[in-house]
Amino acid sequence: MTKPKVLISDKMDPNAARIFQERGCDVDVITGKTPEELKAIIGQYDGLAIRSSTKVTKEILEAATNLKVVGRAGIGVDNVDIPAASAKGVVVMNTPFGNSITTAEHAIALMFALARQLPEADASTQAGKWEKNRFMGVEVTGKTLGLIGAGNIGSIVASRALGLKMKVVAFDPFLTPERAVEMGVEKADLETLLAKADFITLHTPLTDQTRNILSAENLAKTKKGVRIVNCARGGLVDEKALKELLDSGHIAGAALDVFETEPAKDSPLFGTPNFICTPHLGASTTEAQVNVALQVAEQMADFLVTGGVTNALNMPSLSAEEAPKLKPYMALAEKLGTLVGQLAHDNLAKIAIEVEGAAAQLNQKPITAAVLTGVMKQYSDTVNMVNAPFLAKERGLDVREVRHDREGEYRTLVRVTVSTSQGDRSVAGTLFGNGQPRLVEIFGIGIEADLDGDMLYIVNTDAPGFIGSIGTLLGQSGINIGTFHLGRREAGGEAVLLLSVDSPVNEDVLAKAREIQGVRLIKALKF
């Protein structure tokens, strides 16, 4: 039997090649190739192991006639054309947890640097000034650290901060009270964190929900004298507002390892007193680079030799026999998960996935993974069906699967129920005869709708003329309605309106809609 052949095209720890060989792969280490040179040789390889230098473009993939897997030693896969890889049947893997400790330690290092003004004191001393009285720092002992994001890296930062005798307040929609107790932190909403924290560190991916989470408005709510550290993603902090509040003295210091635009060759923050920056060094330690190299080699070798899948970004864990039957259900399940993730994401503690009818006769694990993918992708930019269950477990979510043998109103049904601080919230969907997913119930109200593209979700008081008012507003705003779906508990009671629209509904339109009489809740959705 011919051994799988792997190319390592970027500089990587030498032990990665050894692992490939030990696990039954032939491996070549050829680095520094131009795109044209890589295209000329890539056709002979089954696997391609990369870091950040190699760009796996559509053109490279078209030349990769035997390629089965691309493995990125690290988290970010911006240098891989994932849609093109998926179209070619090439699995894309990363190593999202290999540099967690390193990134957490960098955040702690920057926190200390801010507390004691180390970069400025170093520059002053080396300039021969000896300004001993100029640099008056603060202790971290006894101070409150506000943690935005309490996942893998955030939990490590919390552990280190507690070891430094700090108090830790954490904001994370997926942090359960039980997990908070286990971590030794106080669970809080964002406003409480902003008001309490002496230091704030961010440990969340950049998604629609987290983009600009420290906006000008939220930065203004922080405690005077706060110090802010971001080693997560650029775009989480309003850099212009940060500059203004540093200049005014409201924010005592800020340290960024990441910027909205990278490489950050020019920034209004550069040269600002009490501002520290590093060039995206969060994962830059010898240990982290060794860890991610070894992990990517292990994952790729397992896939090529045994078919095992770990941390794949574009491949569900399915056998060839199960795939045709399960794929329509997985599409339905992911849409239901995406729906509850957008509508009921705060304080999630439990998720129940129930199947009945024809769905109850299938392997439920891929359906559950698809639901979790929909829920978790609201907060993670690398989630997929393989890693979604792991991320849910890491967040402390209680995931329950229920299979009903009973026959219900529908031939087949998938129901997703999440427990929130406001109580249980449930959505349900079915498959039509052509296998198309369709919503049939939302939060106890019967409503049939396709979940696709841009949509608008409205809870309102059932009253004459309401639909016309919404339609008029959208028309005046240049937003075309594709379809609309109605449901209500009772005449004159609570009603739900679900609209598909041809373009996204911005915040200005949502604000105007909230002023329409009868509107209780309105939210833009994306599928």
Active site residue: 280, 395, 415, 425, which one? 280
Write the CA distances from 417 to 10, 321, 434, 444, 497, integer angstroms.
45, 29, 26, 11, 20
DSSP state letter for 374: H
Backbone phi, psi, residue 42, to 5°: -65, -25
Q: Is-catalytic flag, 233?
A: yes
**Helix (H) or strand (E) run with residue 218 in it:** helix 216-220
Active site residue: 51, 203, 233, 425, which one? 233
Sign of torsion over alpha carbons 254, 257, 262, 264: positive
Active site residue: 139, 262, 287, 407, which one? 262
CB 69 within 8 A of CB 254: no
CB 377: neighbour CB atoms within 10 A? 20
**Helix (H) or strand (E) run with residue 455 in it:** strand 454-461
Q: Tell how strand 91-93 and strand 69-72 pair up.
A: parallel
Pull the structure tokens for residue 374: 């929909």
CB 451 within 8 A of CB 335: yes
Pull the structure tokens for residue 208: 């629609």
Q: Is-catalytic flag, 280?
A: yes
Q: Tell how strand 481-488 and strand 494-501 pair up.
A: antiparallel
Question: What is the b/e burial string over 112-122, where b = at least 16 CB atoms within 10 angstroms of the residue's CB?
Answer: ebbbbbbbbbe
> Rounded to 5 degrees, what angle do the CA atoms 287, 288, 291 make?
85
Pull the structure tokens for residue 326: 């399960």
Q: Is-catalytic flag, 485?
A: no
The residues that are catalytic are 233, 262, 280
